[in-house]
Structure 1
Amino acid sequence: MTQRIAQTQRTAQAVEFTTVLETIGSSTIARLPQAASACLPSRGQVAVRGSVAGHDFRTVLEPDGARGHWLRVDEQLQHSAGIGIGDHVAFAIEVVRDWPEPDVPGDLAAALSQASATIQTMWTDITPMARWEWVRWVNATANPATRRRRVEVTISKMTNGKRRPCCFDLSACTDPTVSKSGKLLGSA
């Protein structure tokens, strides 16, 4: 795996690296080499824009729980870039201030749509980064009962004025399938 750092004209760091696409559960991911992760401003999630094989994307890098990062490479990007599992792929990424909107899971979206106008307004007023944190917290469990409770607690906390979830490790991998596989930390 190679990695190169270059300065762009806007003085933001561009990080270039090559890594192998792999599958964990039903996700295709690209792990950032440690040197590339070390260039990022946070051990937690980081919003980036990037390119692979001439195709641009915007995403949020996920932490691996061991001071590194990974990114999900969806089927659309794989198809358009002509890349697949097992390929050595060159990426270029740049940290951005403006976070993309998260994909809000159906159960959380339904609860938000049924919540008071105050909660709905708060949801639109908080930053996209804060919305990502709520979504990550809800998605961080595979247990249906725990997940239902987290959706309920999200609405309850927001009712009490909380704009972000608390008490979870922002630098941990919160994708249950990926984190429980042990593959991010080198064990299988």
Structure 2
Amino acid sequence: MTNIRFKAKLLRPASPKGAAWTFLVLPKDASAKLPTRSMTTVEGTLGGHPFQATLEPDGQGSHWLKVGRALREAAGVVAGDTVAAEVAPVAVEPEPRVPPDLKKALAAAPPARTQWSSLSPVARRDWIHWIASAKKAETRERRIANACDMLASGKRRACCFDRSGIYSKALGAPEPAD
């Protein structure tokens, strides 16, 4: 795949107040060149500075990129700037970081852990994102228990997770600050 070049405005999120990070939403034509509407890891440049990050779906058929302070400062850009970026999907999807509570639950459920180990990094990332998208602690706990049960029964994908954010609002770009 060739590199995807675009320009986008760097935005500050409305929440949390005083966030040190910024974000940008890829133009729809740039996003359409990616292999999936769901999360996809890319490497590229922002303002000429190299980075690797996972783009997330914005819930509107495009993707968004969280730009941390270090990348923003290295690229010499600030919120409100229109920045030039270039991205391409990575050749090998990186392993996701497994949250401690999920790691503990998988350790206590050998059949679930065996199935987890057989999954691709993308599938593991989807399970993690489904669990992490819970708004309440009780819901998160229930999703971890359900994930272990589903994995132990042979399921490879979270049953009800919309990877694109279009059909549910579990995924989406942050609201920009005024």
Classify the TM-score, shorter chain. Answer: 0.7 to 0.9
SS of 2:12's partner is strand
1:100 aligns with 2:89: no
- Higher mean C-alpha deviation, range 12-21 or range 164-173: 164-173
Identity of aligned residues (%): 37
Cα drift, residue 180 of structure 1: 8.9
**Residue number in structure 2 paired with 1:127:** 120
Between Structure 1 and Structure 2, the one with more helix by share is 1
1:169 aligns with 2:162: yes
1:14 aligns with 2:3: yes
Contact 2:59 2:173 in 1 (8 A): no
Contact 1:48 1:59 in 2 (8 A): yes
SS of 1:23's partner is coil
SS of 1:16's partner is strand
Residues 101 and 175 of structure 1: is their aligned pair in 2 closer, same or farther, counting only changes over 3 Å? Answer: farther
Residues 97 and 55 of structure 1: is their aligned pair in 2 closer, same or farther, counting only changes over 3 Å? Answer: same
TM-score (norm 2): 0.82
1:72 aligns with 2:66: yes
Between Structure 1 and Structure 2, the one with more strand by share is 1
**Residue number in structure 2 paired with 1:33:** 27
**Residue number in structure 2 paired with 1:7:** none
**Residue number in structure 2 paired with 1:140:** 133
Residues 60 and 180 of structure 1: is their aligned pair in 2 closer, same or farther, counting only changes over 3 Å? Answer: closer
The alignment yields a C-alpha RMSD, in angstroms, of 2.6
**Residue number in structure 2 paired with 1:56:** 50
Residues 115 and 73 of structure 1: is their aligned pair in 2 closer, same or farther, counting only changes over 3 Å? Answer: farther
SS of 1:148's partner is helix
Matched positions, count: 171
- Work out the CA distance in 1 between the residues paired with 2:69 and 2:169: 18
Residues 55 and 180 of structure 1: is their aligned pair in 2 closer, same or farther, counting only changes over 3 Å? Answer: closer
Which sections of structure 1, spanning at least 5 residues, go unmatched?
A: 1-11
Listed one character per residue, the Cα deviations across residues 75-113 of structure 1 (whole Å, up to 9, x for unaligned) are 332233333322222110012341122232332233223
AA partner of residue 164 (structure 1): R
TM-score (norm 1): 0.78
Which sections of structure 2, spanning at least 5 residues, go unmatched?
A: none
